[in-house]
A and B are shown apart, each in its own frame.
Chain A
Amino acid sequence: MPTSLRTVVWSTAIFLLVGLLALVGIVGATLWLGERAQAYSSVAAEARLTRSAAIEFRNALQGAESGQRGYVIARNEIYLAPYATAKTQAARQFSLLEGRLADQPEARVPLERLAAIVDEKFAEMDRIIALERAGQHAEALLIFNSNRGKALMDEANVFVSGLVRRIEDQLATGIAEQQANAGLLRLVSAAGAFVIIAVVGGAGYMLSRYAAEARQARDEVRALNAGLERRVEERTADLVVERDKAEILLSEVNHRLANSLALVASLVSMQAKSLEDPAAKAALGEAHDRILAISLVHRRLYGSRDVRAVTLDEYLAALLEQLKASLHGDGQASIKHSLDPVTLPTDTAINLGVVVTEWVTNAFKYAYPNGSGEVRVRLARLPEGRVELAVEDDGVGHPEGEAVKGTGLGTRIVRAMAASMRADVEYSARHPGFSARYVFTPAAG
Chain B
Amino acid sequence: MALRLIVAVVVSVGLSGAPALAQQGPAGITTPSVLAPFDPQAAACSAPSGLGKSLLFAMDNDRDFITGAGAGLMAAAKDRGLSYAAVNAQSDAARQAEQIRAAITAKSGAVVTAPVDALALAPILQEVIWSGAYVGTIVPPPAITILNAPQYLTGRTLAEDAARHIREKFGGKADVVLLTHDSLQFLAPRFAAMRDVLSEMPEVTIVADISPATVDEAGGYHAMQTVLEAFPNVDVVLGADTVVLGALRALREAGRDRPDQYLGGIDGEPQAVTEILGGTGPYKASIALSSPIFGYALGQYAADWLEGRSVPQAMDVLPFALTKDNIAQYRADQNDPGAVFADPVRRDAYLRMYGNICADSRDQYLNFPWSSEAG
B183 to chain A, nearest CB (A): 7
Is A243 on the interface with B (CB-CB < 8 A)? no
Please list 29 pairs of residues, one from A and one from B, whose beta carbons are closer than 8 Å in the complex, sorted by A's number.
A110-B230, A113-B229, A147-B182, A147-B211, A150-B211, A151-B182, A151-B210, A151-B211, A151-B213, A154-B208, A154-B209, A155-B210, A155-B226, A157-B208, A157-B209, A157-B210, A158-B207, A158-B210, A158-B230, A158-B231, A159-B230, A161-B207, A161-B208, A161-B230, A161-B231, A162-B229, A162-B231, A165-B230, A165-B231
A residues near B227, Cβ cutoff 8 Å = 158
**Chain A: how many interface residues by the 8 Å CB criterion?**
15
Q: Mark A151-179, 1 if CB is under 8 A from B, else 0.
A: 10011011101110100000000000000
Looking at the complex, which one of A147, A150, A151, A162 makes contact with B230 (CB distance below 8 Å)? A162
Q: Which of B205, B210, B211, B229 contacts A110 (CB 8 A)?
A: B229
Instruction: Give Cα distance in the complex from A159 to B227, angstroms.
Output: 8
Q: A159–B211 contact, CB under 8 A?
A: no
Return the contact of B207 from the options A113, A147, A165 (Cβ within 8 A).
Answer: A165
Indicate with 1 or 0, residue by residue over A50-83, a CB within 8 angstroms of chain B CB atoms: 0000000000000000000000000000000000
Min CB distance, A328 to chain B, in Å?
145
B202-220 near A? 1/0 per residue, CB < 8 Å: 0001011111010000000
Instruction: For the complex, give the distance between the alpha carbons of A165 and B208 in Å.
Output: 12
CB-contacts of B216-236 with A (<8 A): 226-227, 229-231
How many Å from the CB of A105 to the closest CB on chain B? 13
Q: A444 within 8 Å of B by Cβ?
A: no
Q: Is the CB of B231 within 8 A of A113?
A: no
Whether a CB of chain B sits under 8 angstroms from the CB of A109 is yes
Give chain A residues whose Cβ lies under 8 Å from the Cβ of B183.
Answer: 147
Taken residue by residue from 85 to 125, chain A's Cβ proximity to chain B (1 for < 8 Å, 0 otherwise) reads as 00000000000000000000000011001000000000000
Closest to A114 in B: B230
Q: Across the interface, which residues of A come within 8 angstroms of B182, CB to CB?
A: 147, 150-151
Q: How far is the CA of A298 from the CA of B207 in the complex (A)?
A: 136
Across the A-B interface, the 10 shortest Cβ-Cβ residue pairs: A162-B230, A154-B210, A158-B208, A159-B230, A147-B182, A158-B230, A162-B231, A110-B230, A109-B229, A110-B229
Interface residues in A326-342 by Cβ distance below 8 A to B read none
Min Cβ gap A93→B in Å is 17
Name the one of B205, B208, B210, B226 contacting A113, with C-beta atoms under 8 angstroms.
B226
Number of B interface residues in the complex (CB < 8 A)? 14
A147 vs B229: C-alpha distance when bound (angstroms)? 22
Indicate if the CB atoms of A162 and B207 lie closer than 8 Å: yes
Smallest beta-carbon distance A23→chain B, Å: 42
Interface residues of A (CB under 8 A from B): 109-110, 113, 147, 150-151, 154-155, 157-159, 161-163, 165
Q: How far is the CB of A92 from chain B (nearest CB, A)?
A: 22
- Complex CA distance for A151 and B213, rounded to whole angstroms: 8
CA distance A110 to B230 in the complex (A): 6
Chain A: which residue is nearest B177 at the CB level?
A: A158
Q: Which residue of A lies closest to B178 (CB)?
A: A154
Q: How far is the CB of B154 from chain A (nearest CB, A)?
A: 22
Distance in Å from the Cβ of B242 to the closest Cβ of chain A?
A: 17
Q: Which of the listed residues B209, B230, B231 has the most CB atoms from chain A within 10 Å of its own CB?
A: B230
Cα-based distance from A163 to B227 in the complex (angstroms): 12
Closest chain-B Cβ to A164's Cβ sits at a distance in Å of: 10
Identify the closest chain A residue to B183 (Cβ).
Answer: A147
Instruction: State the Cβ distance, B302 to closest chain A Cβ, in Å.
Output: 40
CA distance A158 to B211 in the complex (A): 12
Q: How far is the CA of A73 from the CA of B182 in the complex (A)?
A: 20
B294 to chain A, nearest CB (A): 31
Closest Cβ of chain A to B45, distance in Å, is 47
Q: Is the CB of B230 within 8 A of A154?
A: no
B211 touches A154 (CB 8 A): yes
Please give, as numbers and ranges, the residues of chain A lying within 8 Å of B207 by CB-CB distance: 158, 161-162, 165
A147 to B211 Cα, complex, angstroms: 9
B141 to chain A, nearest CB (A): 25
Kindly state the separation between the CA atoms of A163 and B229 in the bound complex, as whole angstroms: 10
Q: Which residues of A contact B226 (CB under 8 A)?
A: 113, 155, 158
In the complex, what's the smallest C-beta–C-beta distance from B239 to chain A, in angstroms?
A: 13
14 additional A-B pairs beyond A151-B211, A162-B207, beta carbons within 8 Å, are A109-B229, A113-B226, A113-B229, A147-B183, A147-B211, A150-B211, A151-B182, A154-B208, A158-B207, A158-B208, A158-B227, A158-B230, A165-B207, A165-B230
Q: Which residues of A contact B211 (CB under 8 A)?
A: 147, 150-151, 154
Complex CA distance for A237 and B281, rounded to whole angstroms: 111
Tell me the minimal C-beta distance from A186 to chain B in angstroms.
27
CA distance A147 to B215 in the complex (A): 13
Bound-state Cα–Cα, A154 to B229, Å: 14
Could you tell me the distance between the alpha carbons of A157 and B207 in the complex, rounded to whole angstroms? Answer: 9
Q: Looking at the assembled complex, report how far the CB atom of A110 sits from the nearest CB atom of chain B, in whole angstroms.
A: 5
Among residues 26 to 60 in chain B, which have CB atoms less than 8 Å away from a CB atom of chain A? none
Measured between beta carbons, the chain A residues less than 8 angstroms from B205 are 165
Cα(A161)–Cα(B229), bound, Å: 11
A29 to B230, CA, bound (A): 38
CA distance A159 to B229 in the complex (A): 8
Cα of A110 to Cα of B208 in the assembled complex, Å: 14
Partner of A163, one of B208, B209, B210, B230: B230
